[in-house]
Amino acid sequence: MSTFLNTQVGKNQLTPRQIMTDPILFLAFGFGSGLAKKAPGTCGTLAAVPLYCLLAQTGNLFYSVITIVVTIVGIWICGLAADKLGEHDFGGIVWDEIAGYLITLWWIPFSWQGVALGFILFRFFDILKPWPIKWVDRRVKGGFGIMLDDVLAGVFANLVLILGW
């Protein structure tokens, strides 16, 4: 199992057990997906796919409310998680990817092509961080900073989907 998962996490060297049993860290680590040694952000985005599929069936109003709540509460979750880890924007904190993916598919009609293209576009913008995403990532700190670059990546991906739809 340690081949795929980090065994010590952050400067405070938390264990996977500590992360999975702490409600804040469990959420911040995307229900455990952020414990992946390789590509935790991609794993966190993958963890968002079933959540999106569930929410996509509820209608735009409920989807919008949940997306806004996930994003706003994410500032607090990510900030607390960073404090507990002793490290700002640790790669395993993936709640921001979950919010970013939900933003990517906001107001996009459900289709499996949309799910896949949204995933690819969100990861593209999150990894490459074109301006102003990179500027925000480097300068804005705390839970707000952890969330904001992924929110922007989600907005960029969403705009591409809307323009292409």
How open is the CA angle 26-31-35, to the nearest 5 degrees? 80
The percent of residues in the chain predicted with pLDDT above 90, rounded, is 82
* Distance of alpha carbon 82 from alpha carbon 93, whole angstroms: 8
Residue type, 133: I
Mean pLDDT of the chain: 93
> Which tens digits make up the pLDDT trace of 127-154?
999 999 899 889 999 999 999 999 999 9
Give the residues of the chain that fall short of pLDDT 70: 1-6
Q: What is the CA radius of gyration of the chain?
A: 15
Annotated domain spans of the chain: 16-164
Residue found by looking up tokens 């990861």 in the block: 123
Asked whether the whole model's pTM tops 0.85, one would answer yes
Angle value at C-alpha 117, between 137 and 78, nearest 5 degrees: 30
